[in-house]
């Protein structure tokens, strides 16, 4: 009888502790996780669950930091389901005082890889052995694009993701990808150094070789080939990373995700009240046009999203600005502030 009483008390305590944990997690996130708290708890030691918690936390952290800078505006929180498996949470702030459009998305999807997506992966050197032409996959990530109103506040993008594929013989292939990059309308060297230095510190905690490698990868990836220029002043970018070990790569991705707020928010605070001219606003609109060109023509994430059956188009195209402009044959005057940023976009610099 005593043993039964102790067991009951222990069970009740454990249940109330779990309820407290659930409440705390719910308050921490922007919306309930896609996989559900119970499922995440049941599989809490699995990397998939830990990654889902990390992307949920990153979403909430970034949304709260942005909302604090734009008190008149608020994020609309939109949860969606994908009938093929999984779903996501889209948080979008539009027409604020500081941000014209800021979106932070989480998606956790699973199902069977489409032929087109599998072909895209094989072209990157993945040897995927399908069973009866079927490849079960699980993909999750957090991605964000922030377009401020003021031309002196740069646009920022980040994305961190995890991918898992089960092959015909049951073996699982997994990898991580992601990055954080800055797209200023006008060059401010101090901001560029702060941004890159913060990302370098996050990388250096894990391996001193990572920052130079991923900085170069970023410069090469965000290249608008038909314009002969980069989309912005870079940052870090990596994909298909599956070594040294799952745990080590996860810890590295966690450090990068935690660096998002400190690398960007101080820059917004510094410039959000800067005065600007109609000409500077026009140049921002033209640079945004370039942003759109890269995302729609070259970006692999956009392409993958558009090729995945049942994916949510609104969330994929959230990265596009509210307004942009394309002028025929526009060339800025030599030695102007506009020409200065173009020079850096054509010839990337080492900022740290």
The CATH number for 184's domain is 3.40.1500.10
In this predicted structure, what is the pLDDT of residue 15? 64
Is 10 part of any domain? no
Is 352 part of any domain? no
Is 20 part of any domain? no
Q: What pTM value is reported for the model?
A: 0.91
Q: Domain span at residue 75?
A: 45-346
Is 253 part of any domain? yes
Is 7 part of any domain? no
Number of domains in the chain: 1
**Contact, 222 vs 232, CB < 8 A?**
yes
Give me 325's structure tokens. Answer: 């402009």
Is 90 part of any domain? yes
Is 351 part of any domain? no
Per-residue pLDDT of the chain (352 residues; tens, 9 = 90+): 777 777 777 766 766 666 776 777 778 899 999 999 889 989 989 999 999 999 999 999 999 999 999 988 999 999 999 888 999 999 999 999 999 999 999 999 998 887 777 777 777 777 777 776 778 899 999 999 999 999 999 999 999 999 998 877 878 889 999 999 999 999 999 999 999 999 999 999 999 999 999 999 999 999 999 999 999 999 999 999 999 999 999 999 999 999 999 999 999 999 999 999 999 999 999 999 999 999 999 998 888 888 877 788 888 899 999 999 999 999 999 999 999 999 999 999 999 9
Q: What residues contact 314, with CB distance under 8 A and at least 6 apart?
A: 90
149-180 residues labelled b (16+ CB within 10 A) or e (exposed): bbbbbbbbbbbbbbbbbbeeeeeebebbbbbb
Catalytic residues: 157
Centre a 10 Å sphere on the Cβ of residue 313 and count the other Cβ atoms it contains.
Answer: 9
Is 245 part of any domain? yes
């Amino acid at each position: 009888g005593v043993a039964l009483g102790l067991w009951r008390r222990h069970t009740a305590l454990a249940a109330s502790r779990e309820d407290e944990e659930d409440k705390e997690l719910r308050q921490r996130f922007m919306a309930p996780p896609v996989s559900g708290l119970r499922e995440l708890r049941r599989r809490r030691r699995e990397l998939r669950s830990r990654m889902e918690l990390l992307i949920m936390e990153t979403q909430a952290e970034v949304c709260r930091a942005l909302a604090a800078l734009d008190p008149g505006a608020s994020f609309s929180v939109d949860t969606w389901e994908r009938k093929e498996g999984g779903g996501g949470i889209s948080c979008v702030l539009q027409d604020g005082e500081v941000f014209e459009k800021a979106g932070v998305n989480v998606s956790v999807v699973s199902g069977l890889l489409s032929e087109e997506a599998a072909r895209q992966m094989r072209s990157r050197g993945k040897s995927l052995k399908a069973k009866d032409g079927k490849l079960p996959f699980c993909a999750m990530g957090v991605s964000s694009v922030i377009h401020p109103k003021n031309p002196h506040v740069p646009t920022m993008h980040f994305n961190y993701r995890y991918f898992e594929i089960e092959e015909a013989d049951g073996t699982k292939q997994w990898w991580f990808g992601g990055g954080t990059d800055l797209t200023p309308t006008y060059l401010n060297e101090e901001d560029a150094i702060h941004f890159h230095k913060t990302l370098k510190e996050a990388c250096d905690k894990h391996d001193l070789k990572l920052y130079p490698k991923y900085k170069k990868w970023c410069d090469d990836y965000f290249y608008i080939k038909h314009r002969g220029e980069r989309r912005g002043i870079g940052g870090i970018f990596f994909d298909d990373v599956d070594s040294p070990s799952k745990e080590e790569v996860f810890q590295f991705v966690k450090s990068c995700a935690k660096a998002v707020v400190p690398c960007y928010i101080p820059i917004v605070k510094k410039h959000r009240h800067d005065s600007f001219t109609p000409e500077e606003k026009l140049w921002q609109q033209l640079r945004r046009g370039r942003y759109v060109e890269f995302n729609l023509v070259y970006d692999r994430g956009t392409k993958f999203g558009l090729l995945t059956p049942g994916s949510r188009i609104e969330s994929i195209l959230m990265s596009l600005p509210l307004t942009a402009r394309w002028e025929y044959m526009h060339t800025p005057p030599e030695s102007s502030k506009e020409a200065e940023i173009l020079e850096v976009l054509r010839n990337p610099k080492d900022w740290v």
